[in-house]
Amino acid sequence: MTIKVAVAGASGYAGGEILRLLLSHPAHESGELQIGALTANSTAGKLLGELMPHLPQLADRVVEETSPETLAGHDVVFLALPHGHSAEIGRQLGEEVLVIDCAADFRLTDEAAWGHYYGGEYAGSWPYGIPEMPGHREQIQGSKRVAVPGCFPTGATLALLPAVAEKLVQPDVTITSITGASGAGKKASVPLLGSEVMGSLKAYGTAGTHRHTPEISQNLSEFSEEKVTVSFTPVLAPLPRGILTTATAALQEGVTEEQARTTYEEFYQDEPFVYVLPAGQQPQTQNVLGSNMCHIQVEVDPFSHKLLVTSAIDNLTKGTGGAAVQCMNIALGLPETAGLPRAAVAP
């Protein structure tokens, strides 16, 4: 049986990353996975080779208009669309289609949080696509609907999950994430022009206003007896890709650095895409470039009695496209690591 896959939003950064990974997927190389419709809106009618010359295998493919009719007839549909567009399309695709949404439409389980941070009609929630969260791999298996997490929540959740789940810290965390410009998408925007970004750093979505804040809190609170309070600050840096996250939280009484490190190593020992670095080695975005990995370092500050966890991911791979393909693999019963690089590009 051939698995036929469509990508909506194929000319954007997330869509392009999904296609890059699918092209090297073993199932595609064997002919068991076929890349079908590639759709978009503003770029419909253009050749993909004009828009994404880094994907020469698909250079002669014409980008079609995004519609339920165009996406129908596929076994898997990736929705790499801005938030607010996935819900209606998802409703019109049959229950037999595996729909993997890279937008925020189905991530939040709290309707009030959705209304506050996004507004508009609440579409509900789908199985949430961080397989490394206990229980979530099982939810994704055999599911026909998956919500891919946000890029910031991926780095932050993986950084803090063992500490919260194993009660190493108090349920009040502070997170700062430095991100590359591709996280804002491919749309034209003056604040993202090279002359605006190069040589400069800027915090944005500050003081609890960033839309990923409730998602991080939701993820961590799932494994805590109390709701986890999150103070989250994103910082835009002159990088194309990558997110470096630092997360701090007050330790519970008596927790040592050795205990914290052992907890993290044991928690992630069977996770192929999480690497707890040796003591003294710091995560760097360049070491995860193009890979589906999350690199983590865990330390204890003895003076403030706080846990410090640093994580690095590629926002377009583990943070979006790689997570989407990882979820596809799990949902279809394919090897979870298929088509997903663990080695990065260096230098």
Reading the block at residue 233, the tokens are: 């600050």
- What average pLDDT is seen over the chain? 93
Nearest in space to 329 (alpha carbons), one of 147, 153, 142: 142
Q: Does a structural domain hold residue 16?
A: yes
pLDDT tens per residue across span 236-292: 999 889 999 999 999 999 999 999 999 999 999 999 999 999 999 999 999 999 999
pLDDT exceeds 70 at position 314: yes
Rounded CA Rg of the chain: 20
What residues make up the domain containing 105?
Answer: 3-148+320-332
Q: Which pLDDT band, with edges at 50, 70 and 90, does 194 fall under? A: confident
Q: What local confidence, expressed as pLDDT, does residue 253 receive?
A: 92
Residue 125 included in any domain:
yes
Domain count across the chain = 2
pLDDT tens for 79-122 read: 998 888 888 898 889 889 999 999 999 999 999 999 999 988 89
Which pLDDT score, from 0 to 100, does residue 88 have? 85
In the block, tokens 């519970």 appear at: 252
Pair (166, 213) in one structural domain = yes
118 and 26 inside one domain: yes
Q: Are residues 103 and 25 in the same domain?
A: yes
Active site residue 151: yes
Indicate the pairing of strand 76-79 with strand 98-101.
Answer: parallel
Mean local confidence (pLDDT), 144-161: 97
Are 99 and 187 in a shared domain?
no
What was the pLDDT predicted at 198?
A: 80
Q: Can you tell me the distance from the alpha carbon of 162 to that of 166, in angstroms, rounded to the nearest whole number?
A: 6
Q: What is the per-residue pLDDT for 190? A: 67
- pLDDT at position 186 is 62
Residue 221: which CATH number?
A: 3.30.360.10
Residues 302 and 180 in one domain: yes
Token digits of residue 88: 């209606």
Q: What is the pLDDT of residue 119?
A: 87
Has residue 344 been placed in a domain? no
DSSP per residue, 280-333: T----GGGSTTSS-EEEEEEEETTTTEEEEEEEE-TTIIIIIHHHHHHHHHHHT
List 102, 151, 294, 327, catalytic entry: 151
Q: Is residue 126 part of a domain?
A: yes
Instruction: Indicate whether 167 and 292 sit together in one domain.
Output: yes
Q: Are residues 116 and 158 in the same domain?
A: no
Note whether residue 338 is domain-resident: no
DSSP state of 125: -
Q: What is the mean pLDDT of residues 153-168?
A: 97
Same domain flag for 173 and 49: no
Helices (H), the chain: 13-23, 26-29, 48-51, 68-71, 86-92, 111-117, 136-140, 151-165, 194-197, 213-221, 257-267, 322-332
Shared domain for 192 and 204, answered yes or no, is yes
Q: Are residues 115 and 213 in the same domain?
A: no
Determine the pLDDT at residue 86. 86
Task: Please indicate, yes or no, whether residues 284 and 226 belong to a single structural domain of this protein.
Answer: yes
